[in-house]
Amino acid sequence: MISIFDIFKVGIGPSSSHTVGPMKAAAAFAAMLAESGADASTARIVAETYGSLALTGQGHGTFDALLLGLEGSLPHDIPLADIPERLRRIREDGRLYLNGREIRFDFAQDMQILGDRLLPKHPNGLRFLAYSASGEELAAQVYYSVGGGFIVTDETFGQESSQAAEVPYPYRSGAELLAQCRLNQLNISEIVLANEAALAGCSEADIRRRVAEVADIMAACIKRGLGGDGELPGGLNVRRRAPQLAAKLRVLRETEIVNTQLWPMVYAMAVNEENASGGRVVTAPTNGAAGIIPAVLHYFRKFNPHASQERVENFLLTAGAIGILYKTNASISGADVGCQGEVGVACSMAAGAYAEVIGGTPKQVENAAEMAMEHHLGLTCDPVGGLVQIPCIERNGIAAEKALKLGTLALLEDGMDKKVSLDEVIQTMLQTGRDMKATYKETSLAGLAVTLQKKAVPVSVRVVEC
């Protein structure tokens, strides 16, 4: 089973599939060269990006992430303050440190941006090649960044993990999860807690501590976002709005004109403005949708009189269970299924989690998660300028508010008479993504991306074999 800590990963903005995943892939290639001993003979590395990674890589920080990854950096612990100087050294001076040894890197020649081509298995394809000083190919490896910071190689794409640990309450579908709850008289968060302890080989108290750390990182990201200022990078001249909106809401509160439902929208925008600026965020389940779950959780903490530390942890445990269902049975990649796989999935996770912590039964949790995705079906991914800003930042805010309302709505019914199950809506989301035109899946070649640019850029995308 996938762990919820695979769903909730600490990384950097602006994109889990286009920044976090590529950095991890580049670091994995550098490690592969070291393990094989080929790095000692490597004089040149070529990085090829295909499809969505190439088309929106500039706005998503993909190419910079690849450079940093080739030097061994990983998203969860890279020192953010060091990034500008390191990128200047590589891009301008042409000096890249491969496993501590300096090699030449000519960005114009060695970073191949192939937006008119696709590798066969996923729109987010990468290929690395290592050459000797004489031009002999020493190693090559294909990776796919499949969403949420997950990467797979060409050889392991679509394969089940060979290290699947046994868990006390296994499930692969929503129906199986509900059956485990019913048979064992447990809530979803209790099922997940026991499974995570078995996966990690530790106590449930240890898992709760790790979950609490994730919650704290999310809260800290909101705080930084609310304290930020200025324009977001990328050239669209988008100003940070969350700090000013929060200030206006505080004034309304003081004048007793209160609309607390707007707070989760502002919290979500704060997170996504941090993400757009390249800050540290938690993939939840992706960077493009990173604001929704923290916003709903923060709202619960601040405005629900029954909020407790245990319920905060239960929120993330339940959200993680729902995220696992989408990752296992569909996709959380905007380049694969559109924004329904990012914002839609995050809204579904948040709605279900909120339903549990305000007293919902497992069936009501499932109902809330289903409704949230049902009303995101068909949502496209068309980032303007290839940046995770328009419409992404506001979209997170709207989804956070929607998750709260649907989580609350679910408790007004028992969920037993619903005509659509969570499993059915997950299947539908996947099929809808397969039917969606490629230009609407994180390419910036259609929708708002083209409307605001006032021109279309026709691109013929073809599949090429490695």
108 contacts: CB under 8 Å, gap ≥ 6: none
Is 382 in the same domain as 424? yes
Q: How many domains does the chain have?
A: 2
The answer to whether residue 315 sits within a structural domain is yes
Query: What's the pLDDT at 461?
Result: 45
**pLDDT 10s digits, 125-141:** 999 999 999 999 999 99
User: What is the rounded CA–CA span in Å between residue 57 and residue 52?
Assistant: 7
CA 368 from centroid of its chain's CA atoms: 21
User: What is the rounded CA–CA span in Å between residue 281 and residue 303?
Assistant: 23
Is 112 in the same domain as 222? no
Tokens representing 262 are 């707007």
Written in H, E and C, the secondary structure of the chain is CCCHHHHCEEEECCCHHHHHHHHHHHHHHHHHHHHHCHHHHCCEEEEEEEHHHHHCHHHHCHHHHHHHHHCCCCCCCCCHHHHHHHHHHHHHHCEEEECCEEEECCHHHHEEEECCEECCCCCCEEEEEEECCCCCEEEEEEEEEEECCEEEECCCCCCCCCCCCCCCCCCCCHHHHHHHHHHHCCCHHHHHHHHHHHHHCCCHHHHHHHHHHHHHHHHHHHHHHHCCCCECCCCCCCECCHHHHHHHHHHHHHCCCCCCCHHHHHHHHHHHHHHHCCCEEEECCCCCCCCHHHHHHHHHHHHCCCCCHHHHHHHHHHHHHHHHHHHHHCCCCHHHHCHHHCHHHHHHHHHHHHHHHCCCCHHHHHHHHHHHHHCCCCCCECCHHHCCCCCHHHHHHHHHHHHHHHHHHHCCCCCCCCCCCHHHHHHHHHHHHHHCCHHHECCCCCCHHHHHHCCCCCCCCEECCC
Is 235 in the same domain as 334? yes
The answer to whether the CB of 163 falls within 8 A of the CB of 320 is: no
The answer to whether the CB of 291 falls within 8 A of the CB of 400 is: yes
Domain span at residue 123 reads 16-153
Is 65 in the same domain as 183? no
The answer to whether residue 165 sits within a structural domain is no
Is 220 in the same domain as 144? no
Is 266 in the same domain as 403? yes
Tokens representing 434 are 């397969």
Give the CATH number for residue 255: 1.10.4100
Nearest to 145 by CA among 172, 127, 164: 127
Query: What's the pLDDT at 415?
Result: 78
Q: Of 119, 153, 187, which residue sits at a domain end?
A: 153
Is 325 in the same domain as 442? yes
Is 360 in the same domain as 451? yes
Is 236 in the same domain as 347? yes
363 contacts: CB under 8 Å, gap ≥ 6: 178, 414, 415, 416
**pLDDT 10s digits, 223-271:** 999 999 999 999 899 999 999 999 999 888 766 666 677 899 999 999 9
Give the CATH number for residue 23: 3.30.1330.90
Query: What's the pLDDT at 162?
Result: 42
Length of the chain counted residue by residue: 466
Q: Of 153, 187, 216, which residue sits at a domain end?
A: 153
Query: What's the pLDDT at 257?
Result: 63
Report pTM: 0.90
Query: What's the pLDDT at 160?
Result: 60
- State which amino acid sits at residue 280: R
The answer to whether residue 169 sits within a structural domain is no
The answer to whether residue 461 sits within a structural domain is no
Is 372 in the same domain as 295? yes
Cis geometry, peptide bond prior to residue 285 (ω within 30 degrees of 0): yes
Is 238 in the same domain as 101? no
**Per-residue model confidence as pLDDT tens for the chain (466 residues):** 799 999 999 999 999 999 999 999 999 999 999 999 999 999 999 999 999 999 999 999 999 999 999 999 999 999 999 999 999 999 999 999 999 999 999 999 999 999 989 999 999 999 999 999 999 999 999 999 999 999 999 999 987 654 457 999 999 999 999 999 999 999 999 999 999 999 999 999 999 999 999 999 999 999 999 999 999 999 899 999 999 999 999 888 766 666 677 899 999 999 999 999 999 999 999 999 999 999 999 999 999 999 999 999 999 999 999 999 999 999 999 999 999 999 999 999 999 999 999 999 999 999 999 999 999 999 999 999 989 999 999 999 999 999 999 999 999 998 788 899 999 999 999 999 999 999 999 999 999 999 887 543 444 444 444 4
Is 148 in the same domain as 181? no
Query: What's the pLDDT at 164?
Result: 56
Query: What's the pLDDT at 163?
Result: 47
